[in-house]
Amino acid sequence: MVPHPYRVRRRRRETHDTFTLELQPASREGTAQEKPIMRGESAEWDIPATASQPLSTIPAFLPGQFNMLYVFGVGEVPISISGDPADPTTVVHTIRAVGTVTTALRQLRPGDMVGVRGPFGSHWPLSDAEGNDVVLIAGGIGLAPLRPAVYRILAERVKYGRVVLLYGTRTPADILYRRELARWRGHFDFDVLITVDHALGNWRGNVGVVTTLIARAPFDPLNTVAMICGPEVMMRFAARELVRRGVPAERIFISMERNMKCAIGFCGHCQFGPTFVCKDGPVFPYRSVKDLLTIREL
């Protein structure tokens, strides 16, 4: 229940309300060697681990899991992990500033401390998906929890069939990870389709909700595992469209969001019908929550 001390190593602005923090473990007491070094425009913080002071770190995570981030004097909030699962030392979170704690997280600068507890919850079924086509569907900030899955898939690309990422945002200005999306798109065996809900005439990409991309995406419905993350309504529509295209409901996975105070099944806040989103989720097989999703105010 006690967080590990981490420091902001790098902070990157993604969109007008979204930013990415790279965190590295801080020593409990702090050492003289800890000082920021300038790299390009941003200061970075390098923390040498000394033999006498082993750093307290969270265990390695699986794509789809989340951490609890603590800001001194403000509070704690669940945030999905959006970094590379192959890099266990850096904890990466892409955060949208919408509440008190996330707004405070936005104020943090390299060298500032945060508390980290985690990783918590269920993960995307990447091992089970091996040998299948993979359809990743992201809406808005929902791309952040799917990014570790993309990293894993790209690192082990031969294990999967066709892979396609369908990504929808509100406007072109809300698109996250632009440079990486371009890089992923450059892979001949990785399709990226992007659409926005609203655009002015100078946008040359797709306009329309993300579900409209499903019909255009190349995959074999009977041998596909789909992973969806985004606003609940968007996930409902996307899952339904996948089922219509022939993807079995048990091979569709969605990531739920609920209020959480503890992340370990004690506080009761994240209950979603008989499930606890913190420990049974956040990633659920669509089949197991399909009926719950249609109950109002559950």
Distance between CA atoms of residues 12 and 37, nearest Å:
16
Does residue 225 contact residue 134 with C-beta atoms inside 8 Å? Answer: yes
With both helix axes pointing from N to C terminus, report the angle between 286-293 and 232-244 in degrees, rounded to the nearest 10.
Answer: 120
* Sheet containing 206-207: order of strands: 206-207, 191-196, 163-169, 133-139, 224-229, 252-255, 283-285
User: From the CB of 83, what's the least distance to other proteins, in Å?
Assistant: 22
Question: In this structure, what are the phi and psi dihedrals at residue 121, rounded to the nearest 5 degrees?
Answer: 90, 180
- 29, two tokens: 């007491």
User: From the CB of 26, what's the least distance to other proteins, in Å?
Assistant: 7
User: From the CB of 84, what's the least distance to other proteins, in Å?
Assistant: 25
Residue with Cβ nearer other proteins (187 or 198): 198
User: From the CB of 75, what's the least distance to other proteins, in Å?
Assistant: 5
Distance between CA atoms of residues 125 and 225, nearest Å:
8
Residue with Cβ nearer other proteins (85 or 110): 110
Residue with Cβ nearer other proteins (43 or 207): 207
With both helix axes pointing from N to C terminus, report the angle between 143-155 and 178-186 in degrees, rounded to the nearest 10.
Answer: 30
User: From the CB of 133, what's the least distance to other proteins, in Å?
Assistant: 19
User: From the CB of 183, what's the least distance to other proteins, in Å?
Assistant: 22
Of 37, 51, 31, the C-alpha closest to 9 is 37
Residue with Cβ nearer other proteins (187 or 266): 266
Residue with Cβ nearer other proteins (132 or 169): 169
Question: In this structure, what are the phi and psi dihedrals at residue 173, rounded to the nearest 5 degrees?
Answer: -70, -15
Residue with Cβ nearer other proteins (55 or 154): 55
User: From the CB of 131, what's the least distance to other proteins, in Å?
Assistant: 28
Distance between CA atoms of residues 189 and 269, nearest Å:
41
3-state class of 22 per DSSP? strand
Measured from the Cβ of residue 86, the count of other Cβ atoms closer than 10 Å reads: 11
User: From the CB of 156, what's the least distance to other proteins, in Å?
Assistant: 28
Residue with Cβ nearer other proteins (182 or 233): 233
Which element (helix H / strand E) includes 100? helix 100-107
Residue with Cβ nearer other proteins (30 or 48): 30
List interacting residues with other proteins (CB under 8 A): 1-3, 5, 26, 28-30, 72-76, 96, 98-99, 102, 111-113, 115, 139-141, 168-170, 174, 195, 197-201, 203-209, 211-212, 216, 230-231, 233-234, 237, 257-259, 261-262, 264-269, 271, 273-274, 276, 279, 295-298
- What are 48's strand-pairing partners? none
